[in-house]
Amino acid sequence: MSGVVNCAAYAEGRRVADLKIEGISEALKRDDRFVWIGLHEPEEALLKQVQAEFGLHDLAVEDALRAHQRPKLERYDDSLFVVMRTARMNAAAKRIEFGETHIFVGPRYVVSVRHGSSLSYAEVRARCESTPALLSQGSGFVLYALMDFIVDQYFPIVDGLEDELEGLEGEIFGEAFSRETTTRIYQLKRDLLELKRAVSPLVDVCNRLTRYDADLIPEDTRPYFRDIYDHVIRINEMVDMLRELLTTALEANLSLISVSQNEAMKRLTGWAAIIAVPTMVAGIYGMNFKMMPELEWPWGYPVVMAVMVGACGFLYYRFKRAGWL
């Protein structure tokens, strides 16, 4: 069925059957089994079918269908609904692409719904299946594995942004600063803001999973969520630090551009003042007055030339000494 990536039943941490949606009810007749379904941008009819099998709440299903949700954790009776934003770096476009994952968790089922740009969770499933002792903890451990995988994808993105920031700092303080540098800094600030919006709410989500909603999570699984909590705190701190550094880099870039423009204006002003002297003299003697006695002087021309050269030389010396030229 289109939209279904994987659907399997597990017993004692081992995969015992691949299922179709219609066969879920039959598989759950045995008390020792739970079902793990992976969906990718499912159509409404498919999601409604899954809802009927597990009794998913209408509001949660509506959120999972429409997407564009803020990361959150909601509790409906004996089930949890978790929304997370996925992130991956588009190296060609030099932009972060965001997607969403919605996770329904009940005592005997896990349903993950992916939207937009994200990595496949086949790796997560394979890793869980390779550790039956942990997978035997049930749906709570699967929730941890999915959340841990999503959070781990943030680290290389933050590291990449940090490397790019170092490159931008090298351009700025290496006198290679430009308007393009400013544009790139603004793009990085927007990406970091989106990443902050994706990560920041997870602090509360993880806190609730380890404390307030812990009765739905097996005792043996709770320490794993504290590990995710630590990772989220660390990423938040890294993002905040990068945002501060980007703000500083932006201010430094704008300041250096302003200084560079001022230096250019100084040079233009200095040369304009020097050129003004011969221009003024030439303008005076270019007037068509008949009574200009100095035009008849034998030494008039050499004196005027000497005055112009001397004045220009004096101005050049003064401007050079003042650092304007």
As for how many domains the chain has, the answer is 2
The domain spanning residue 274 has which CATH number? 1.20.58.340
> In whole angstroms, what is the distance from residue 61 CA to residue 46 CA?
11
pLDDT at 39: 92
> In whole angstroms, what is the distance from residue 278 CA to residue 284 CA?
10
Q: What is the pTM of this model?
A: 0.78
From 131, 161, 182, the end of a domain falls on: 131
Let me know if residue 302 belongs to a domain. Answer: yes
Q: Can you read off the two tokens belonging to residue 241?
A: 């630090």
> In whole angstroms, what is the distance from residue 122 CA to residue 126 CA?
6
Let me know if residue 250 belongs to a domain. Answer: no
From 111, 131, 151, the end of a domain falls on: 131
Supply the range of the domain harboring residue 88.
Answer: 1-131
pLDDT at 296: 67
Calculate the alpha carbon distances from 115 to 39, 41, 67, 111 in Å: 9, 5, 7, 13
Per-block mean pLDDT, blocks of 10 residues, the chain (325 long): 83 89 86 91 91 91 88 89 91 84 92 87 92 90 94 92 84 70 84 91 89 72 88 93 86 73 72 74 67 67 75 74 69
pLDDT at 78: 84
> In whole angstroms, what is the distance from residue 34 CA to residue 12 CA?
9
Looking at the DSSP bridge assignments, the partners of residue 112 are 38, 103
Let me know if residue 238 belongs to a domain. Answer: no
Let me know if residue 220 belongs to a domain. Answer: no
From 100, 131, 162, the end of a domain falls on: 131
Let me know if residue 72 belongs to a domain. Answer: yes
pLDDT at 290: 65
Let me know if residue 208 belongs to a domain. Answer: no
Let me know if residue 120 belongs to a domain. Answer: yes
Calculate the alpha carbon distances from 228 to 38, 151, 225 in Å: 21, 7, 5
pLDDT at 103: 95
The domain spanning residue 47 has which CATH number? 3.30.460.20
Let me know if residue 5 belongs to a domain. Answer: yes
